[in-house]
Amino acid sequence: MLGWVITCHDDDAQAMIDRLEKKLGPLPQCRAVNYWRGLSTNMLSRMMCDALHETDTGEGVIFMTDKSGAAPYRAAALLSHKHENCEVISGINYALLEMMYPLRETLSSAEFRDTLVGQEIPGVSSLWHQQQKNPPFVLLHELYKN
């Protein structure tokens, strides 16, 4: 089963998990990380790292963030590059989480990401999809060639 780390501004992440638990019961391998104004980037990164390790059983973790490019998204992006089978999704909301919850048990992290973004919901994207739009810089010649 894929782990979920839901991270949003203010207390939205915890509110979404609480609402999901009310409807679906206990949510194994799910953690909320709330990002409040004034929280340092270092503390946010530590909280996200703890949540990653608490939710990962080896099958992968999906970071679900509210806003693309914001501090929680950036912290998730940095962590995802250090761990296999991690994906970062932005633009999430409660209805989307409820719809995608059952797929945690059957899809790989990449399949989950593609299925979620494939719904073509305005504002929903993934780090991977954004990177495909902006491929890494490649030198066309060797600058320091002898």
Q: Say what the pLDDT of residue 52 is.
A: 96
Q: What is the pLDDT along the chain (146 residues), one digit of tens a residue?
A: 999 999 999 999 999 999 999 999 999 999 999 999 899 999 999 999 999 999 999 999 999 999 998 999 999 999 998 888 999 999 999 999 999 999 999 999 999 999 999 988 899 999 888 887 876 666 566 655 55
pTM of the predicted protein model: 0.87
Q: Say what the pLDDT of residue 131 is.
A: 81
Which tokens sit at 16? Answer: 């979404």
Q: Say what the pLDDT of residue 88 is.
A: 96
Q: Are 36 and 10 in contact (CB under 8 A)?
A: yes
| Residue 101: other Cβ atoms inside 10 A | 15
Q: HSE of 139 in the Cβ direction (CA atoms, 13 Å)?
A: 5
Query: Please, what sign has the CA dihedral across residues 97, 34, 51, 62?
Result: positive
Q: Say what the pLDDT of residue 140 is.
A: 63
- Residue 9 annotated to the active site: yes
Query: What is the residue whose two structure tokens read 């999901």?
Result: 20
Q: Which residue among the candidates 9, 53, 81, 141 is catalytic per the annotation?
A: 9
Q: Say what the pLDDT of residue 146 is.
A: 55
Q: What separation in angstroms does the CA of 87 have from each of 31, 35, 115, 117?
A: 15, 19, 12, 12
